[in-house]
Structure 1
Amino acid sequence: MAEEIDYEALSPNAGLGINMLAGAFAGISEHAVMYPVDSIKTRMQVFATSPAAVYTGIGNAFTRISSTEGMRALWRGVSSVILGAGPAHAVQFGTLEAVKELAGGNAAGNQWVATSLAGASAAITSDALMNPFDVIKQRMQVHKSEFRSVFACARTVFMKEGITAFYVSYPTTLMITIPSNAVQFTVYDHLKKWINPRGEYSPTTHMIAGAVSGGVAAAVTTPLDVAKTILQTRGTARETELRNVRGLADAFRVIWRRDGIKGFGRGLTPRVLTHMPSNALCWLSYEFFKVAIREA
């Protein structure tokens, strides 16, 4: 019979290599499972000129996309996420744990400053890797996308718009992920300690804390996510105003002029519904693989 893992006896910091490998597995699991809902979110956030690309809700979008384009359309671009999520999340969780340890976040009590700093640092490093893959993903998700291959999409975007197209949304992405990660990791850490004060290995705890922290972080950053989608899909837009959006301020002006205050909540429901289960799975996978790899 296999020896039982003593979760409490394990060091809070598993080592950079283990944290990165566990993070890579967790990232791929997180993004792949909820990808169809993320595709719907992207389409709901894009300002479409065709009535066929305007959706009233998740159910409406799912029914219309699957009936007119087939179920495979909801998975278009998933390979870009898989290619990018592994290394990006490896760097994210490696940075998270390293900075948290250096800042004293593993000390007794709720070290929310150290946890927030670790979350923000993780966002900066991981987004630098993930942003180009996210641009490709969203170009492939939009209604009537011409792209069916990640590499064909990357080549076309680079040839037509240059390398800046892959990073035009990076500042906005950081404005989303730095507060998002800070909120998410702080809520997760506090909630995990509150639900499971003894620090025992508890998949249920990781899932609940991951879902709640992911939902909160997703909700508060939705307005920025709408702006990011406009920036990342501007090359597919037919209207000159949308194609000429250069930054966050431009995107906000377009959203406000076209849709008012409600425009900043575009895709809120699918975004939260994506992040809650995907973050629950991400943290569940991360905590599991962190233990499993060390014991292998």
Structure 2
Amino acid sequence: MAAPAEEEFDYESLPPNFSLSANMLAGAFAGIAEHSVMYPIDLLKTRMQIVNPNSTAPMYTGISNAMVTIMRAEGFRNLWRGVSSVVMGAGPAHAVYFATYESVKHAMGGNEGLKHEHHPLAAAVSGASATIASDALMNPFDVIKQRMQMQNSAYTSIGHCARMVLRQEGFSAFYLSYPTTLCMTVPFTALQFMSYESFSKFMNPSGTYDPYTHCFAGAVAGGLAAGITTPLDVIKTLLQTRGTSTDPEIRNARGLWHTASILKRREGYAGFFRGLKPRIVTTMPSTAICWSAYELAKAFFIARSEG
């Protein structure tokens, strides 16, 4: 006798009729939720990472000090300056991100076996593959976002920013940081996905939908990966904002190793950890929100498939 439909697949392995479009919608929902909620802290991180000795921007001593200083000097609305670029880019990028993740994970056998079986290699490779695909879409939007986040940014809108960067620095400015981004996000995502899968399996061996597990595992995995990859994030920020720098050396930074050598010579190893706290503070709730939103959307589509 054939087994009931709901027993032919479990929560971890998606049902056969779970379409690519549904998977992409779940990913888009997760990406927009992740980036929008924590955007002000991400803005603080960008400002703390910028090296510009000739700037009149205030020196921030911490997250709360930076938040209060910006609100007093620029108003509350400026904490959200450039968020529309993230919303526009995060939806499509995360749709591709999670669609690639599920496809590669399935191809590598990450959904095979019993619910309690663990496939860390499949999780790591699928995560790395996902970020290579999504970053190709997201990188230009991230460049625009960080230009808008800067102190006294001259750009009035994301369209104005895109046109000015294209006119003054060329199309390559949108992808100058892409190799550095991949050097950061590939190990970040591989570590995050592997940690997330590991924590999830440990906390929830049954593999059923559990929002508490998804939230906690996502936060811990994201914070761990963020702390380890902060030096590369600092370099990425410098490359993405170099066109606005008044420092000739920073303005002419050519790539990952050249920028790293400038930072090391000027500030030592401490320079590579600029913005460490706000990066972790941003990433932990962001990844918790992202995974919770994605798993919720996935559970919703699976429930509809069962119905």
Residue matched to 1:59: 64
8 Å CA contact 1:24–1:86 kept in 2: the answer is yes
Residue matched to 2:55: 50
- Aligned-pair CA distance for 1:292: 1.4
- Letter of the structure 2 residue corresponding to residue 42 of structure 1: T
Of 33, 37, 55, 2:41 maps to: 37
Provide the C-alpha distance between the structure 1 equivalents of 2:32 and 2:256, rounded to a whole number of angstroms: 28
**Taking structure 2 as the reference length, what is the TM-score of the superposition?**
0.92
Does 2:96 match 1:91? yes
Does 2:218 match 1:210? yes
Does 2:5 match 1:18? no
Task: Name the SS for the 2:152 alignment partner.
Answer: coil
C-alpha offsets along residues 223-248 of structure 1, whole Å, 9 cap, x if unaligned? Answer: 00000000000011011101100100
Residue matched to 2:3: none
Provide the C-alpha distance between the structure 2 equivalents of 1:209 and 1:166, rounded to a whole number of angstroms: 33
C-alpha offsets along residues 27-70 of structure 1, whole Å, 9 cap, x if unaligned? Answer: 00000000000000000000133353321211111111110011
**Taking structure 1 as the reference length, what is the TM-score of the superposition?**
0.95
Task: Name the SS for the 2:185 alignment partner.
Answer: helix
Does 2:126 match 1:118? yes
- Aligned-pair CA distance for 1:11: 6.0
Task: Name the SS for the 1:181 alignment partner.
Answer: helix
8 Å CA contact 2:12–2:208 kept in 1: the answer is no
Instruction: Extract unaligned runs of 5+ from structure 1.
Output: none
Provide the C-alpha distance between the structure 2 equivalents of 1:104 and 1:294, rounded to a whole number of angstroms: 20
8 Å CA contact 2:82–2:145 kept in 1: the answer is yes
C-alpha offsets along residues 61-103 of structure 1, whole Å, 9 cap, x if unaligned? Answer: 1111110011111110000000000000000000000000001
- Aligned-pair CA distance for 1:12: 1.1
Equivalent runs, 1:65-104 vs 2, <5 Å: 65-104=70-109
Provide the C-alpha distance between the structure 2 equivalents of 1:70 and 1:81, rounded to a whole number of angstroms: 20
Residue matched to 2:303: 295
Provide the C-alpha distance between the structure 1 equivalents of 2:27 and 2:278, rounded to a whole number of angstroms: 24
C-alpha offsets along residues 203-236 of structure 1, whole Å, 9 cap, x if unaligned? Answer: 0000000000000110110000000000000011
Provide the C-alpha distance between the structure 1 equivalents of 2:119 and 2:13, rounded to a whole number of angstroms: 14
Percent same amino acid among aligned pairs?
A: 55
- Letter of the structure 2 residue corresponding to residue 57 of structure 1: G
Please say which of residues 50-59 and 222-231 is displaced more in the overlay. Answer: 50-59
C-alpha offsets along residues 244-270 of structure 1, whole Å, 9 cap, x if unaligned? Answer: 001001110121122111101100000
Equivalent runs, 1:173-188 vs 2, <5 Å: 173-188=181-196
Residue matched to 1:233: 241
Superposed structure 1 runs of 4+ greater than 6 Å apart:
none
Task: Name the SS for the 2:131 alignment partner.
Answer: helix
- Aligned-pair CA distance for 1:113: 1.2
Instruction: Extract unaligned runs of 5+ from structure 2.
Output: 1-5
The change in CA–CA distance for 1:9 and 1:121 in structure 2 (over 3 A counts) is: closer
- Letter of the structure 1 residue corresponding to residue 189 of structure 2: N
Task: Tell me how many residue pairs correspond in the alignment.
Answer: 292
